[in-house]
Structure 1
């Protein structure tokens, strides 16, 4: 599953924090200095010295620009791309600098985040102190895009009914030609950029953005997959890393099969929490104990494909599309009622809401068009960042491990995710460029690593791992449900992050928010 912040954006809570800080230390007594004087990497002078031209853009209060970056930082003469940038600028005399933000993904749009939700995902304190800056990472949105299929072909790729039962060996074999065709289309329609959607190329873009925004040090708030950007940035540029907040962290030391298995266990835990909550309501489609309800769930889901359930637009619900529909509302506790309604409708033979939830995750509009190329970017980035070997035997082995770790929903979610990614990446036109390893970022200033105890998409153990691996990592825990921690209505988390970003205050111990 994409680790992006595909969740409802909550209005910031105004309630006072309880037991906020157990003590703080100050990492910088002065404001972040601007006007970059950091040495420029050799051969990249023309990129680092470009001047941005800001123009008003929608909605009111936003300014947009573009930054030119090389496709390949090691060979800048091989061509350029454009990075779309948007900011909400502060006019305060106490301006600290720029706060770069990324919503996750792979495939999340930072431009969309800041344009549509800057007032909801940042506090008054941050908007007073910083220019809030979002960018579309390479391949995403308004930046030079990754392009694979047109709308009709993407619809067929994501929603067509397979010739063989989903999950069978024959189904796996069927996916090979399908994934090869997808990879070929991505290469043909994207070109050489397809080989440079990796996390390190994005981290280098962040340093370029830091420089052209005029900051000596990078100040950054990254969510979910965006924490990989931040961690790799600190590894590549420890001397340029200022105040970094990595929310919903990913463990960079895990190889891809284990990463997917642990993540599916996270979704299973979230589904169990949903069931526990559901049984307390009158509209719950389940009865009995939690374990009984989980068994009822499994029986229902196992039989969906054979029942050939359809939505009101005539599309048939496959087991893999069901997996996408199940995972989407688990990102956010506020979406659990929709999940309960979807299950009730499936029991009645109606797949309309299930298809609508899958469409929401896949960025599919009601008319069959797609709002973005998130699936393409997710695939390209994951193939370059991950490790995928073993052919269909390797794919099957991890499917079995996922089913054991997440016996209620893991198989269904992994049909749309692990199976697709594993087979696509074993047939991708570019090899993996990143080896799994612990990131220490020696020499970097203290880095806040946020984890939510029952986060389905980025399990809490990943935040613990990243915080322990980073030489200067500081773990901040949010106790609760849902994906990521900041701007979720937890005043303890929000004030801890704001105090760190604005004033450089680092908690001495985890405040356990």
Structure 2
């Protein structure tokens, strides 16, 4: 019923803690009938008077500041604010739920302001407030635009005004990493997994009655409220990366008359959820993991087959309780500080590296592989995996380094993981409705498309478990609850009736949002595609590539885009 493995999420938390962990981990390894709301065009909604006020800018709360902002970020140029929006914009379903307070951070324009640029880094579940602090926006953009990061409803600082944040119980979430088997080898292990999943789900559903209002449809309506009540602009300017491109695409479809400069960086998929679209993602992932394997093989004087065999051996170590880490709930025999790690931490940690540019991904892959190869130390991949899912592990890792007693609560966790699954479960029907035979047939297709990754993430026993409610648990919850609208069968169509082109950026070799998604979206939106020739996810939003920066600046300041077929490699 509940699937932890991430779908689409941009990882922006990692840089600060990872450098410390990488160097330390290498040293440590030496020691050891309802309908969903949809629309093609949306008019201004009449809101209650209490939900119509404009933003009041003020000093930012201490809790808003990022630990490691970009060197160009200046607090003196920044202020913060919030507006309230309704839980639902129309209908009676959810009308009794409390409003959301949307948290904002603004970097004021350094020159003559021509507009406001809203930014969203992806997820679902990532914070725009963190995003504006950690990216080096081009100086010409800073001069002309206020840059506003916002936490979408339910994310980070944007929570219900009731004071009850969208959040599942940390201890139950953490337990799911350690007390079950990612790929069960028998019915008993499958039953343990289901018990953990059901306990987590029952608790999380009860704690979050407003979960279903986090849909992208509502987020797009919130974005129009931000345009009106925060920017006061006639047209919206928006930069979205990864899932942020879903938000931008929804806005463009729903509010074409107020769509201005819309930038979509590493575009998500809105095609029907078919086997073909899943196989496209599988092939892209297999290719990107293959590049990591080849890079490591070259550096170590090994063959690809030898590295793959090593990785399968490491997976087996995890299955046999031989991998070591620092975060797990179970102590490692014979060690005062190390904990047992798992094969899931190994494979999920590798998967997180597909969000990075090739050089950075290979660096961390090499360091992680060296450590686990030398002494079965899985700490780096463990850190990558947990950090991707919203965990901050500095205290827990510091305790390990300093040989302080293990603290099962030595972490903090944001709500990005549950937000991601909730939003995805409401944006389209994520129930897996295939028969067992159809599931087996698809598994065979997946194995053919991604043979190594399939083998690495499957139990060698070949045991097959069929969940009674497979797929996204939140879609199942919605369909079973008459008070919640049903998610649509497929993602919303992408249209552009604004009369203006959109800036669409696709990364040629990435696997998180494969290039074909950008090709398809550019065609649907009747806009030129700008191709980044590397493998980096969201290559524009880091603003480290001069070619992409130039295209972005020209679009935002001169309303020009290159002809179709433009490519950037630097």
Q: TM-score range by the shorter chain?
A: 0.7 to 0.9
Per-residue CA deviation, residues 33-84 of structure 1 (Å, 9 max, x unaligned), is xxxxxx9624236477411111122544321111111111114853411111
Aligned to 1:33: none
Between the aligned partners of 1:308 and 1:424, the Cα distance in structure 2 is 32
Per-residue CA deviation, residues 173-209 of structure 1 (Å, 9 max, x unaligned), is 6544433333322222122x21111111111111111
Counterpart contact for 2:513–2:537, Cα < 8 Å: yes
- Which stretch shifts more, 137-146 or 105-114? 137-146
| Aligned match for 1:449, one of 504, 512, 518 | 504
Aligned to 1:301: 315
| Aligned match for 1:407, one of 451, 466, 472 | 451
Counterpart contact for 2:421–2:472, Cα < 8 Å: no
Counterpart contact for 1:195–1:384, Cα < 8 Å: yes
Q: Do the aligned partners of residues 294 and 438 (structure 1) sit closer, same or farther apart at CA in structure 2, a change above 3 Å counting?
A: farther
Counterpart contact for 1:147–1:186, Cα < 8 Å: no
Between the aligned partners of 1:442 and 1:90, the Cα distance in structure 2 is 30
Aligned to 1:179: 197
Counterpart contact for 1:402–1:411, Cα < 8 Å: no
Aligned to 1:54: 57
Aligned to 1:340: 366
Higher relative contact order (CA 8 A, sep 6+): 1
For residues 240-319 of structure 1, the aligned pairs below 5 Å read 240-255=258-273, 259-281=277-299, 284=300, 287-288=302-303, 290-313=304-327, 314=331, 315-319=339-343
Mark the runs of 5 or more structure 1 residues left unpaired by the alignment: 11-38
1:375 aligns with 2:417: yes
1:511 aligns with 2:566: yes
Q: TM-score, normalised by structure 2?
A: 0.75
Secondary structure of the residue aligned to 2:272 is coil
Counterpart contact for 2:10–2:242, Cα < 8 Å: yes
Mark the runs of 5 or more structure 2 residues left unpaired by the alignment: 1-5, 16-41, 66-74, 332-338, 397-409, 460-466, 479-483
Secondary structure of the residue aligned to 2:102 is strand
Secondary structure of the residue aligned to 1:454 is coil
Per-residue deviation, 1:98: 0.4
Q: TM-score, normalised by structure 1?
A: 0.83
| Aligned match for 1:6, one of 6, 11, 34 | 11
Per-residue deviation, 1:478: 0.4
Counterpart contact for 1:219–1:242, Cα < 8 Å: yes
Q: Do the aligned partners of residues 331 and 129 (structure 1) sit closer, same or farther apart at CA in structure 2, a change above 3 Å counting?
A: same
| Aligned match for 1:480, one of 501, 509, 534 | 534
Aligned to 2:150: 135
Aligned to 1:390: 433
Per-residue deviation, 1:103: 0.3
Aligned CA-pair RMSD: 3.1
Q: Do the aligned partners of residues 197 and 47 (structure 1) sit closer, same or farther apart at CA in structure 2, a change above 3 Å counting?
A: same
Secondary structure of the residue aligned to 1:273 is helix
Counterpart contact for 1:261–1:398, Cα < 8 Å: no
Between the aligned partners of 1:512 and 1:485, the Cα distance in structure 2 is 12
Counterpart contact for 1:217–1:242, Cα < 8 Å: yes
Q: Do the aligned partners of residues 168 and 86 (structure 1) sit closer, same or farther apart at CA in structure 2, a change above 3 Å counting?
A: farther
Per-residue deviation, 1:344: 2.4
Aligned to 1:323: 347
For residues 120-159 of structure 1, the aligned pairs below 5 Å read 120=136, 122-144=137-159, 147-159=166-178
Per-residue deviation, 1:398: 5.0
Aligned to 2:401: none
- Which stretch shifts more, 251-260 or 212-221? 251-260
- Which stretch shifts more, 422-431 or 373-382? 422-431
Between the aligned partners of 1:61 and 1:352, the Cα distance in structure 2 is 39
Aligned to 1:362: 389
